[in-house]
A and B are shown apart, each in its own frame.
Chain A
Amino acid sequence: MIYRRFIDFPKMETGNPFADLERMKHHMDRLLGNLSEKRSRRAGSGVFPPLNLSEDKDGYFVRAELPGVNVEDLDIQATVNTLSISGQRTLPVEDENAKYHRREREAGRFSRMINLPDAVNADAIEARLVNGLLTVKIPKSDMAKPRQIKVN
Chain B
Amino acid sequence: MSNNDIQVKEKQEAVASAELTKPGPVFTPAVDIFETDMEIVLLADMPGVTPDSLDIDLRENTLTLSGEVEQADHGEEIEILTEYEVGKFYRQFSLSEVINQEKIDAKLYNGVLRLSLPKVEKIKPRKITVSAS
Contact = CB atoms under 8 A, between A and B. Distances in A.
Interface in B26-70: 30-37, 41, 43, 45-50
Interface string A102-140: 111111111100100100000000000101110000000
B69 to A, nearest CB: 9
Most buried by A among B32, B37, B80, B82: B80
Contacts of A114: 81
A89 interface: yes
A61 B32 contact: no
A9 B79 CA distance: 12
A43 B82 contact: yes
Contact of B111 (A10, A97, A107, A133): A133
Contacts of A64: 84
B5 A4 contact: no
A35 B6 CA distance: 34
In terms of DSSP, what is the predominant structure of the interface of chain A?
Answer: loop
Interface in B67-92: 74-85
Contacts of A51: 81, 83-84
B36 A95 contact: yes
A52 interface: yes
Contacts of B77: 54-56, 61
A28 interface: no
B21 interface: no
Contacts of B47: 65-67, 131-133
21 contacts: A1-B78, A3-B78, A39-B85, A42-B84, A43-B82, A44-B8, A45-B83, A50-B8, A51-B81, A54-B80, A67-B111, A68-B45, A68-B112, A89-B2, A90-B2, A91-B43, A95-B36, A105-B45, A117-B80, A131-B49, A131-B110
Interface of B: 1-10, 30-37, 41, 43, 45-50, 74-85, 108, 110-112
List the 4 closest A-B pairs by CB distance, nearest first. Answer: A132-B111, A67-B111, A132-B47, A50-B83
